[in-house]
Copies of this chain bind each other. A is one copy, B any other.
Amino acid sequence: MADMTIGIIGAGRIGQLHAEHILSTPSIELKGICDINTGHLKGTFIEKNVSIITKDPSILIEDEEIDAIFICSSTDTHCYYIEKCALAGKHIFCEKPISFSLEETKAALRIVEEAGVKLQIGFNRRFDTHFRKIYQTIQDGKIGKTHIIKITSRDPEPPNEEYIKSSGGMFFDMTIHDFDMIRYLSSSEVKMVSVATANLVDPCFEKYDDVDTAIITLTFEDGTLATIDNSRQAVYGYDQRIEVFGEKGLVMAENERTSNIQIATKESVTLDHPKYFFLDRYKAAFQKEIQEFAQAIINHEPLTCTGEDGLQAQKLAIATKKAWKEKRSVSLNEI
């Protein structure tokens, strides 16, 4: 009775997250999930509710009932699966970043285009209520021409060493969301990037030629200036704030707290903490990105975020890494 049938490649943290959200959406069916290891799914809610649990992705890719595939495997396999899915005529939802190589990404996007399937990238924040209201406020002309965009994006705690090792570095793994958001909010493309970095949270980042703290400055074609500040460790919780300042005013989004209560005693006046991490903070956005993906396909409408958006965010990550390594401002023309 579902309007759409889905298969998932990759049953790690994010794959399971999508699986649970699809299973709670009655109009979308999750038919199968695939991973090189499936043992960890034994006895889970997912196993009970999904027909096919397999180690072979082609079983899903070739299943005629499946309309779309979610690619949630490791980044280095994304382009391979994008191509396979596109050639099989499946619509694709792919997690970010598309890849670490511009050539690979461009090749994959070309095949997607030729196959005429839809490709959405997992930039879940575009589907967040608060950020979408910021977007709408700008679109409505309420703040006029944008002058300064500021994104604060800080994780509550650093990932473990294993993760750091294969993450592709902070700019590809974490800032990529901020690069996409800043493009989403601006109506112009980035011209120049520079960055100031530091290793203040954990020496492990330096060990893998990575940083854990950064301030990235961007200049847009239309003169807008922007800054992103990242940290791998905000001990008070997931810090996700945006402000956009323009000719006619300012629009900004505060963090969501775990509750709206305030406690006042002799010792202190306290608010609740920001929501702790992305599973909690962006739960509704994760659900919405699936619903909008399904709707766009069913109704033949344009997607909110496309492969091209994935490519552009990847370019910004590459430019920022270059700016860091070469200690200079980098023009996007160089990428």
Residues of A at the B interface (CB closer than 8 Å) are 1, 23-27, 45, 48-49, 129-130, 133-134, 137, 142-143, 145, 147-148, 150, 152, 154, 192, 194, 196-201, 213-215, 217-219, 223-227, 229, 231, 233-237, 239, 245, 247-266, 268-274, 327-329
Looking at the assembled complex, report how far the CB atom of A261 sits from the nearest CB atom of chain B, in whole angstroms.
5
Quick check: A249 and B227 within 8 Å, CB to CB?
Answer: no
A270 touches B272 (CB 8 A): no
Residues B235 and A248 in contact, CB atoms below 8 Å apart:
yes
Q: How long is the Cα–Cα vector from A64 to B236 in the complex, in angstroms?
A: 51
Known: A142-B263, A196-B219. 9 other contacts (CB 8 A): A23-B26, A137-B263, A214-B225, A215-B217, A217-B227, A236-B249, A253-B259, A269-B270, A328-B329
Judging by beta carbons under 8 Å apart, are B236 and A269 in contact?
yes
Q: Which residues of B contact A231 (CB under 8 A)?
A: 147-148, 245
A1 to B150, CA, bound (A): 48
Complexed CA–CA distance, A49 and B249 (Å): 42
**Closest chain B residue to A263, Cβ basis:** B251
Question: CA separation between A214 and B227, bound complex, in Å?
Answer: 11
Question: Of all chain B residues, which has the CB nearest A254?
Answer: B260
Q: Is the CB–CB distance between B263 and A250 below 8 Å? A: yes
| Distance, CA A265 to CA B273, complexed state (A) | 9
Nearest CB on B from A131, distance (A): 9
